[in-house]
Structure 1
């Protein structure tokens, strides 16, 4: 369940004023064009693995469901609804060790979904697992957070399947419940990037340790169903 504003008082002193940037946003900015193939691969598979572990098999992706039932790697992560002013969503670490993803309920549903997906990546970059793995650009998580959000809301495998069934950009955007502009960006990414099967073990370790029960399931879904399938550009690419 999402935390209430009153419950926020139990989580530590926080400043969500208009003058406060979300954590990780200060510093040098990187565009998606600067993503290396390896970094893009890992982020694609991080998003895909989260969907499979949460048993989400078709669009639109329920990001709230993911946040309200976080995996163990997201220790003490809570979803909170709170007016943010300039921002649709933000990640915060609290004084008592709790972690928050805050979403502005006044924003549109589509905007909230994208914001929550983006900040979920920020939360991952602040996790102990990301530190252990030296996750790319983890010190500046917003550099790649929009790319991750597109991967989570529009996984490459689903986009390719959907493109085989329709040639309408509007229909695709409606199916994934995203703006047309974001759908167009994602189609371009899926057409450009091709996952590399030789990185299978790297992507596995990106989420799960050898002792965690989801590892085999993650490998099965990502390595067998995603990496070993022929990757072809979407036919509906505009």
Structure 2
């Protein structure tokens, strides 16, 4: 499966969606289409980075692989869309276009414009998906109201597939992982016995590291389950 993650807006969580939701479950290489995108450099060293004007190279590479995650930074999304239009039919190289949305009004408007642009390029509604990102767990039942513009747009014009259960909840683990330069999958599968490290810590630094990792692991486990649920909601199957 090959998926592009994009939104005309910045700060919608595209890199989090690419790194933490998609890449681990697809076991797929990731391309970052970016000029300025600090988030992409924080969690993975093995990401291929290109600019939007290199779209031709990207679409040729996509022809040779069965799976990929392409994270399109906001600074390059216009070029990405422009060149996708010039390479007529190249949108067919992607199985899905995933548009992360957050509740702020401007970002919702940009989300709608992203969907309209994809549709105008010939992407069918069944291959345009939205994931509702950075939702407080206490507002889980309020997603249609929080994202009223997106839901309203879908009610008027079915240019994308709406799956209300595709909700990523706010979790401080993502910021912690960025600081640690680690991926959530690494933390979830980390079998280090930090409890033993805590008991045997020889100094305060070692003790604080163990405490920090125990907390991160706890946060990561709940976030991982949430991401599993979102993945199944979006694509109908687990890894």
Normalising by structure 1, what TM-score?
Answer: 0.27
As a proportion of its length, which structure holds more strand?
2
Higher alpha-carbon Rg: 2
Name whichever structure is richer in helix by fraction. Answer: 2
